[in-house]
Chain A
Amino acid sequence: MKCTRCREPAEVKVRAHNSAFCRECYVLFFERRVLRAIEHEKMFRKEERILVAISGGKDSLALWDVLSCQGYTTVGFHLALGIGGYSSRSLDVTRRFAESRGLELRVHALADEGLAVPDMMKATRRPACAACGTAKRHYFDAAALEFSCDVIATGHNLDDEAARLLGNVLHWQTDHLARQRPVMQPRHEKFVRKVKPLFLTSEYETASYAFLRGLQYVVEECPNAAGATQLTYKAMLDQLESTSPGTKLSFVREFVARGAAAFERPEGEGPGGTCSGCGMPSFGTLCSFCSLRAEVDRKLRSGAATRGDGASR
């Protein structure tokens, strides 16, 4: 197979675009697609400070690589989830990437507050991903505020968005459909906009980019992801994609361009109060993260009390 651009031997075939590329041309192709998405959706401008949420996987590191190489001002933010070896390896590759490029990296470890994901899961009996998602939302918002960033960028890719869209459509989650956009505007002055610059690049494309750029990333999955419904949707979409290439891309792109408007509704009021736990905007006296934290604390205290009883007997 030859490169569509320069006729050298190709390393990547992008079926959705009916093209194949050699290493250099592919890197160019990928960068251009990401930059076009940023411009087309008006995600951010060159003078803004971007908080890039870095998990240590291929997508977030590929995103950080593109943005920093293109001269954007970035602050990497890694939330260490405390999920055993998976989390320590993720922190490791993230640190090494930042150091090798001289990029600013901020790390917050949930375990430092006794809130490692497995501990939250045990204490609250909530699914790991629910607790984890609440913590991520909270710390991304808080980090953007603390490090004076104008926007939060995450590594969600085309397959993530297509799987989520499929799930939302299958259950006609109209409120979720109203909020599935590549750019989410903030609903409070302490919040910033959230963007997904990779929403039109597939996992295969980001993985190929990461490999061809020599990025070391964590290939393994979070152990809690196994069996997630989202993986079933991804497998279905991959089947469709293999018989008609471009399906995922048009599903997501055309939803954003033509479908999403149908679900739009006047934005409800943003949070009117302030969380008494962390000072972030909140609907009630405690934000959802601080209520989660309170729940964990209560369980741990009552657990300690029970153990105390046992010892005194």
Chain B
Amino acid sequence: MKVRLTPQGRELDVDGVKIVGDLLRRFSVVPGTVLVIRGDRLLTEDTALREDDDIELRSVVSGG
């Protein structure tokens, strides 16, 4: 699947992840610091992922 990290703008191909929780662990993302977006929906950690998914991991952290 394709995974886009915003706002960094990096795009990666990822395989071997079955659910959103695996994906977050793969990227060492602390839950609650990103939105997991597929199309126009937000996904919770237990949501199953497919190989042809297009996922955006959008940081929610603002600074300053």
* A and B associate in one complex: yes
Q: Known contacts A58-B60, A204-B32, A221-B64; decide if A12 and B7 are in contact (CB<8 Å).
A: no
Report whether over half of chain A's contact residues are helix, strand or loop; otherwise say mixed: helix
Q: Are A238 and B63 closer than 8 Å at their CB atoms?
A: no
Q: Does B61 contact A (CB under 8 A)?
A: yes
Q: Known contacts A57-B62, A204-B32; decide if A211 and B42 are in contact (CB<8 Å).
A: yes
Number of contacting residues on B, CB 8 A? 22
Interface 1/0s, chain B 39-62, versus A by CB < 8 A? 001111111000000000011111
Q: Which of A203, A212, A224, A239 contacts B62 (CB 8 A)?
A: A203
Q: Are B63 and A12 closer than 8 Å at their CB atoms?
A: no
Q: Does A194 contact B (CB under 8 A)?
A: no
Q: Are B45 and A204 closer than 8 Å at their CB atoms?
A: no
Q: Are A208 and B63 closer than 8 Å at their CB atoms?
A: no
Q: Does B1 contact A (CB under 8 A)?
A: no
- Residues of chain A touching chain B, judged by Cβ–Cβ distance below 8 Å, are 1, 10-13, 15, 20, 57-59, 129, 159-160, 202-204, 206-208, 211-212, 219-222, 224-226, 228, 230-231, 234-235, 238-239, 241-242
Listed by A's residue number, 30 A-B pairs whose Cβ atoms lie within 8 Å are A1-B44, A1-B47, A11-B41, A11-B42, A13-B45, A15-B31, A15-B32, A58-B60, A129-B64, A159-B61, A160-B62, A203-B60, A203-B62, A204-B33, A204-B60, A206-B60, A207-B35, A207-B60, A211-B37, A220-B7, A225-B64, A228-B64, A231-B61, A235-B30, A238-B32, A238-B61, A239-B30, A242-B30, A242-B31, A242-B32
